[in-house]
Amino acid sequence: MARTVTFKNNPVTLAGPELKPGDTAPSYTGLSGLSPVTLADTPAKARLFSVVPSLDTGVCSLQTKKFDDGIKALGDAVACYTVSLDLPFAQKRFCTAEGIATMQTVSDVHDHSFGQNWGVLIESGLPLKLLARSVFVVDKAGKITYAEYVPEVTNHPNYDAALDALKAAAK
């Protein structure tokens, strides 16, 4: 059965599985700059994956800034990533212009493996592919401890719940 969320109140179909707490975090190959990056390349500590459609939109920009601010107090205990289909150049421009220092970016533009494997790739209902707004927390053992697929892509995620899950995973 197809999984759907809405984008501006119109249903869109998501590719891939619906991940839940307790699931093993799936592999992916994204880009950090022009270098390939995989889940195995992330440090074995609590990790937050903030997934956005595009950094060049208001809600996505705010989501990245809120998580960047929210994780500063956790320091080296966590690793945090913003994942989008934006080109790595656009991600770097955004982070530089907005002073994003703690969140790292992963571009899924190459093969959409993050979107497909994590169940966030909008595969139909829009004229172009995007990732659905979602947030995942992965513990140091590679297990998902928090998963939120935002039902309406243009709405904000539950920042407090995600940050609380990240803090718990970092202990």
- Please identify every residue annotated as catalytic: 60
16 φ, ψ (degrees, to nearest 5): 95, 180
- CB contact at 8 A, 119 and 19: yes
- CB contact at 8 A, 21 and 147: yes
User: Coil, strand or helix: which one is 169?
Assistant: helix
* Terminal C-alpha separation, the chain: 37
User: Coil, strand or helix: which one is 8?
Assistant: coil
